[in-house]
Structure 1
Amino acid sequence: MDEWFEKQRGELLQIIKKFTPEDGTHDTQVPGLRLIRASRLSEPVYSVFEPSLCIVAQGSKMVMLGQEVYQYDPSSYLTASVQLPITGQVMEASRETPYLSLQILFDMNQILDVIQVFGEAIRARNEASRGLKVNRMNDTLLDAVLRLVKLVETPQDIPVLAPYFIREIIYRVLQHENNASLKQFAVIGSHAQRIARVVEKLNRDFAQPLRVDELAAEAHMSASSLHDYFKGVTGMSPIQFQKHIRLQEARRLLFSGSINAAEAAFQVGYESPSHFSREYARMFGQPPVRDIGRLRGSLVNEMTVSEEINEG
């Protein structure tokens, strides 16, 4: 990395550090901008990624989509084009050198607007490639992101300047030749956009029985085409995708402590608690009760360590 790049990254790092006084995800007054801090390596965190741009200022992170692994650090950035069930894990962090990153949530209408304005220069082809990409960071994108993040220090400028900076960031991302997928998801009528609608439906109606023929009809595709394009975007079949969403939601419900395993199974769409328990253990490594007990124990340990650090 050249000297100018490191200077820009250093500025970004200091702002994130300033506005993340403790570990966790911190929303900002800039619409769609989140700042993240972690002072230790994390266990795998299961969540649904929103369409967004993710940039690391310090440390590194690994994201798994199905069986695929994506790792990014200050030399790269990650884009998510649709809602995807992922497993994330901070791979490089410590109390002295915490993991510091940011996430900018995308509005597909904003992307479509940029595509329409700049025309053929960033026009997408009618394809449906993977909805998650890692690309090499470049100077122009980092500069645009830094200007947006600096707005957290001058909130009075946000209403006027943030829309312009976000527009530029989208343009810089779309310029990258490997980000054809992001363009495709914003183009009305494209294969990718039709798959995005199916993904949205599965995220919304995950507890309902999966009917591939109905999904295919809504996407104006044959069942086999839907399967192929869906797997091309998500790395999973529709059934596998639904399973990931169901089990992640069940885990969230169980961790909240409001229901038991059988109730969670029924709420997310399983008819058999024993089938649910087997699939849960296959995904998370342990049956529901043991897994949730372990998670709560880890949380108590983290809180104890945090208190000791603060007291020290």
Structure 2
Amino acid sequence: MSEELRKRQDELTKLIEHHAHHDQIFKTTVPSLTFIHCDKMTERAYRVYNPSFCFIAQGLKELFLAEERFEYGPSNYLITSMNLPVTGQVIKASPEVPYLSLKLEFTQNEILEVLNDSRIQINPKENGSRAMFVGQIELSILDAVLRLARLMDHPQDIPYLAPIHKKEIIYRLLQGEYGVALAQIALEGSNTYRIRDAINEIIHQYDQPLRVEELAEIASMSVSTFHRHFKVITAMSPLQLQKQLRLQEARRLLLTESADASEVAYRVGYESPSQFSREYSRMFGSPPKTDIKRLKETYDQTQGSTDQILAESNV
């Protein structure tokens, strides 16, 4: 890492540590910007990542998209270009050197606006690519990120300058190595754009029977073409994605409500409690009752709460 990059990183580290206190996920007053401060390695957390840019100022994290592993730290940034179920874990953090990061969420319309205003030329017919990727941080990107984060110390400037700095970050990302992959979600007619609509349909109807023919129709593709592009973009099949969504929601319900596993199984779309228990064990490492008991005991011992269990999914 160059000296200039290191200086920006050090400033961002101090800024995040100042505003986000110990083991805190801090939603800043800058719209769609979150700071994360974590004093310890975390358990694996399961959630749906929204389209976002993530940068770690200090520490290390790993993510799994299906079987594909991503590791990133202060030399990298992570982009998730559409809603995807992932598994995440902070793997380097301590009270002395905490994990410090930021997350900036964005929308398809914000990307499209920057594309139109900047006249960056992207071919919508480019082949779709993975909707999650790790890039090498560049000085121009980190400068833009720092300008946005500094607004926390100048709240009177947030309403006017935050949208400008956010546009700059998106602009720099679109100019970077993965600019085409990011732009694809905003370009009507691209394979990524069409697969995104099918993913959103699965997310909204996760507890209903999966009909691949209907999803292919939403994407305006043949079934075989749809399967191929879906796997390229998400690293999983439609059925695998639905299964992850169902099991993530089941775990949330078991943690937050006094419902038994059979009831939750039916609520998330399973017809067989035994099948639910098998698939739950495969994903989380133990049957529902054992898993939830262990999670609650772990957080009781550390004076945590169910809210923390769920919140840590956001880091």
TM-score range, shorter chain: over 0.9
Q: Judge which range, 156-165 or 117-126, deviates more.
A: 117-126
Equivalent-residue separation in structure 2 for 1:122 and 1:3 (angstroms): 33
4+ residue segments displaced more than 2 Å: 117-127
Residue number in structure 2 paired with 1:309? none
Q: Give the superposition deviation at 1:124.
A: 5.0
1:8-47 map, 5 Å? 8-47=8-47
CA distance in 2, matches of 1:262, 1:180: 45
TM-score if structure 1 supplies the norm length?
0.95
Measure, in 2, the Cα distance between the counterparts of 1:205 and 1:34: 28
Superposed displacement of residue 218, structure 1: 1.3
Q: 1:123 to 1:35 in 2, by over 3 A?
A: farther
Question: How has the CA–CA distance of structure 1 residues 153 and 193 changed in structure 2, closer, same or farther, with 3 Å as cutoff?
Answer: same
Hey, what does 1:235 align to over in structure 2?
235
Unaligned 5+ residue runs, structure 1? 305-312
**Which residue is equivalent to 2:5?**
5
Q: Deviations over 1:69-110 (max 9, x none)?
A: 001100000000011000000011001100000000011101
Q: Is the 8 A contact 2:60 2:90 kept in 1?
A: yes
Matched, 1:167 2:156: no
Q: Tell me which residue corresponds to 1:212.
A: 212
Q: How does 1:299-310 map to 2 (within 5 A)?
A: 299-303=299-303
* Preserved CA contact (<8 Å) 2:124 2:189: no
Q: Aligned AA for 1:267? A: R
1:165-204 equivalent positions in 2, closer than 5 A: 165-204=165-204
1:121 Cα offset (Å): 4.4
Residue deviations 1:164-201, cap 9 Å, x none? 00000000011112332111111012110010011111
| Structure 1 counterpart of 2:310 | none
CA contact (8 A) 2:63 2:69 kept: yes
**C-alpha deviation, 1:122, in angstroms:** 5.0
Letter in 1 for 2:94: S
Task: Give the residue type in structure 2 aligned to 1:258.
Answer: S
* C-alpha deviation, 1:127, in angstroms: 2.3
- Equivalence for 1:65: 65
The CA distance in 1 between the partners of 2:162 and 2:108, in whole Å, is 17
Deviation, structure 1 residue 204: 1.1
Code of the residue aligned with 1:163 in structure 2: it is P
Counterpart of 2:112 in structure 1 is 112
Rounded to whole Å, the distance in 1 between the matches of 2:211 and 2:68 is 26
The DSSP-based 3-state class of the residue aligned with 1:177 is coil
Aligned residues: 304
Q: Percent identity over the alignment?
A: 46
Q: Say if 2:278 is the partner of 1:278.
A: yes
> Deviation at 1:260?
1.1
- Which residue in the other structure is 1:256 paired with? 256
Look up the match of 2:309: none
Q: AA paired with 1:226?
A: F
One-letter amino acid of the counterpart of residue 149, structure 1: A
2-structure distance, mates of 1:301, 1:24: 18
Sort the Cα spacing of 1:189 and 1:123 in 2 relative to 1 into closer, same or farther, 3 A. closer
Deviation of the 1:125 alpha carbon: 4.3
